[in-house]
Structure 1
Amino acid sequence: MAQRIFIQVLGFSEEERHALNTVFRLSEQCLTMYQLWTPEAPEPAGVALLDAQSHEARLHAESPRNQGLKMLWVGDNPPQGVWRAFNRPMSWPDILESLDALFAVQQGIDLDLDAVVAEPMSLKQALIVSPDRDVRLYLRARLALARVTLADEAESATGAMELARDKQYDVAVVDCGVRDMTAWALLRQLRKGRRPVAHVALTKQRRSLAEHVRAWYGGAEALLDQPPHPARLDAWLSRF
């Protein structure tokens, strides 16, 4: 069943708050949804996220009234009794993995993509990267059903980068199981190379919300099942 977890947040910069709001927004597509707690919330906060640079946050952490509340501390000198402490700069995947230890997080979200149709899908150039031939064939078939018929395949990250050096791809689907380079490093190469790929999705087994956020920060627009569920892949492709 779906559940909503309210998080009490004290402190943090405007930039950090913006990142936190993004995390909340991404979680809305999961069975476990995170939302900022306010005094008007229909239930108490399930966890507190506290900024070491905030005097109010330290008082909150040390107050006997809050002894039963799980607290995540970000910064130096964590007070006694906080449940988890993290250093700066903040790593949202690490924080979310700690939340996963408290609350069951349902997989299966696609990250937002603000893209505009610029040309017919039949003219799109796609790159498929996976060491597994069956996965590549499956992805090619799904792309063809979405009217993306111009597709090249690579079974390694090295092969993918060689192809990307010589051709401008519009979309790439990368299997996180590539072995000669981490999928995250390959993602950065494809998004920031000489011919950057505009739209990239990663596919992975056993995904978590933390991995979705890591993919979003890394530049991926979707983190899909492995192999991707047809409807989710088609929905992602239909956005551009």
Structure 2
Amino acid sequence: MGYPLVTARFSSDKLEITQQRYTLNTSIQEHEKYRSPRQSYKWDVPIWLKTKTGDTILEWLKANEPLHINLGSLQMPVVINPHRNGYYRQNYDSVGWELIAAQFTRNSVFDRYTRYVLLSDAFSAAAIGQLEYELVFKLIRYAYSSKKGEKHWLPWQAIVDGMYNIYAMYVRTDENASYVLSYLNRVWRPIAYEIREKFLAEETEFAKYIRKQNESSKERITGRLDWKSVRWESNAAL
């Protein structure tokens, strides 16, 4: 059946939000009983908007019409569904993603879970051709090039999974594989050692489980990256 991909487009004073069905492969024919849905795979969707100042607004996106929001005095950037209260993925036009990328570079006004959601959804939108990978790479640059970088494992989980999917989808030759591996090693190794020094010795059982899953995800990429010494910063308060 799928689920919605909600896209926000910015103008000078308004925000237009639309939806489409999220699916990785549009060429596969549906099972016969699902081929004529009453609402064409569109739904009434609750839209949570979070601003730079932390204010949260709830609006409703109707199944068959766009939602228009007057930006007015809202502090930019605006993030949709920051804690995944709604069952949908988010996307933005280039203006929206540029604002988020700039905010990532300046400081962490978004908590780690919101950062995870944004990164995960950016990779997911790019995977179906709704976002240029150039913008995705610009978005993740803060994690390894800003002064503080990304120190929590949760946003890194989204980045590692996203990079693995790129590797799985697009690397078909040894030449491409070498390029991707070189990029990943150059990015991950310095971060790995820095994060290891800041690792918190005491973990909750849930945090330990997620960290091990994260390390397993890294090993999936090829098994040729230097992950053995990586230990991720965790936090008991999830």
| Fold conserved between structures, TM > 0.5 | no
Normalized per residue, the structure richer in helix is 2
TM range (shorter): under 0.3
Q: TM-score, normalised by structure 2?
A: 0.25
> Over alpha carbons, which structure has the higher Rg?
1
